[in-house]
Structure 1
């Protein structure tokens, strides 16, 4: 189903920097009526508030805490597009001593965070005929050793995103799974990425993918290479209607 950004009310988690900030800017540039900035530290969005005035509203929220996300939903019942962008990355390989601790932290934010968002906003998005956008990654499809635990957490979030597509789709809610490759953000720098694509490639891609009613978005050059190889599997397995 096609979703236009123009005149919509949106909410972006992790909206203060990187891809999240770029999504806020793209949405507003494409005519969004209002964007809620859901962040752990409300002071971190002062620059966006100064630039966009009352078109943005900052709300303190933490996707790692169920109560926080329930309160967030209570305060944003007019939202039509929810973008779950917030996530964490821990550098851990399968044989590292810290891999269990790293994976546990990432699952709580990257996987359970998605579920908390989906459960808290499902009725709102159904009522408002809206969309849920989940920031996954190309690492959800291929495990990269240096960020192995992160890859595993994103594989789990991508799997849940597929389930949400079916369940929310029946309620008239669009779901978009976004799979960027190397992007020039603070998180990208942490993981050793050099010469990553601009975050605006992701944010502008989201606007276009929502308008086109797509489920997968592979926004940058590396992601598109993987998406091209993945296309047949996606069409014949992920998007296929299998009767159980």
Structure 2
């Protein structure tokens, strides 16, 4: 790990994609409570902003991460930004090979990989002009091993994990850090089908922002992420085989 530290939250100007609810909303709230000067809340539809997001006082910005025009416009509108949190994500809930919708995997890749790539390309010059800063990419435990029951979502998050490393190598010379967050099961709409213990989105945001400030390259944000990493290290084949068996499970449950 390099000695480059990330941006300080206090006084930061932060862009959060997928900010309407869940982990994105948690990042908005946590950043404002920790003293961010401005938080730009990126949403796909400004007419569908949740009451919870509106109540934060964040500045709402139209930002559909699959749209070149939206991302370019957001980079111009948020010209003072020094932190970008790439949180917007899509889990289509389909299989990869035996897919009911053959286009689902492409849609997941567009949001989960090309979305952050597009955003980093657009905002890197902004952060550079502002003296440096940080990108934070919100990923998943599905990024660290093939997760069969998550279809095209797992490959898209794995691609985004590599994206973080390559972007870091290119951008460090401009005083820009990149932190990838490996996230387990969180109490959000995306994980509504999973039973058992789930993390509070605010806890994920708090850990993620601290990891960014420290300049961490990759951060396992919660117990499931840490335990998954350990099981993978101990016996990669057994871990991957276990994930494959979950493809045929009648229900998904986290450990109590």
Unpaired stretches in structure 2, ≥5 consecutive residues? 235-256
Deviation at 1:212, TM superposition (A): 1.4
Q: Is the 8 A contact 1:12 1:38 kept in 2?
A: yes
> In structure 1, what is the equivalent of residue 20 of structure 2?
16
Listed as ranges, the matches of 1:29-108 within 5 Å are 29-45=33-49, 47-48=51-52, 50-53=54-57, 56-98=58-100, 100-108=102-110
> In structure 1, what is the equivalent of residue 169 of structure 2?
166
For the residues of structure 2 that align with 1:12 and 1:44, how far apart are their CA atoms?
A: 16
> In structure 2, what is the equivalent of residue 148 of structure 1?
151
> In structure 1, what is the equivalent of residue 190 of structure 2?
187
Deviation at 1:201, TM superposition (A): 1.6
Q: Is the 8 A contact 1:84 1:132 kept in 2?
A: yes
Scaled by the length of structure 1, the TM-score of the pair is: 0.88
Q: Secondary structure at the match of 1:168?
A: helix
Deviation at 1:226, TM superposition (A): 3.0
> In structure 2, what is the equivalent of residue 215 of structure 1?
217
For the residues of structure 2 that align with 1:186 and 1:49, how far apart are their CA atoms?
A: 15
Closer/same/farther in 2, CA of residues 151 and 163 from structure 1, 3 Å limit: same
Q: Is the 8 A contact 1:9 1:32 kept in 2?
A: yes
Q: Is the 8 A contact 2:9 2:31 kept in 1?
A: yes
Q: Does 1:131 align with 2:131?
A: no
Closer/same/farther in 2, CA of residues 84 and 145 from structure 1, 3 Å limit: same
Deviation at 1:195, TM superposition (A): 2.5
Scaled by the length of structure 2, the TM-score of the pair is: 0.84
Deviation at 1:43, TM superposition (A): 3.3
Deviation at 1:215, TM superposition (A): 1.0
Closer/same/farther in 2, CA of residues 221 and 73 from structure 1, 3 Å limit: same
Q: Is the 8 A contact 1:179 1:223 kept in 2?
A: yes
Q: Is the 8 A contact 1:184 1:193 kept in 2?
A: no
For the residues of structure 2 that align with 1:41 and 1:193, how far apart are their CA atoms?
A: 30
Deviation at 1:42, TM superposition (A): 1.4
Closer/same/farther in 2, CA of residues 229 and 168 from structure 1, 3 Å limit: farther
Deviations 1:75-113 (A, max 9, x none): 111001000100100112233233631111101111110
Deviation at 1:148, TM superposition (A): 2.2
Q: Does 1:28 align with 2:1?
A: no
Q: Secondary structure at the match of 2:36?
A: coil
Deviation at 1:230, TM superposition (A): 7.0
Unpaired stretches in structure 1, ≥5 consecutive residues? 233-244
Q: Secondary structure at the match of 1:170?
A: helix
Q: Is the 8 A contact 1:136 1:154 kept in 2?
A: yes
Deviation at 1:141, TM superposition (A): 0.8
Deviations 1:140-193 (A, max 9, x none): 111222212100111111111110010111221010101101111000114x35
Two-structure CA RMSD over aligned residues (Å):
1.9
Deviation at 1:210, TM superposition (A): 1.7
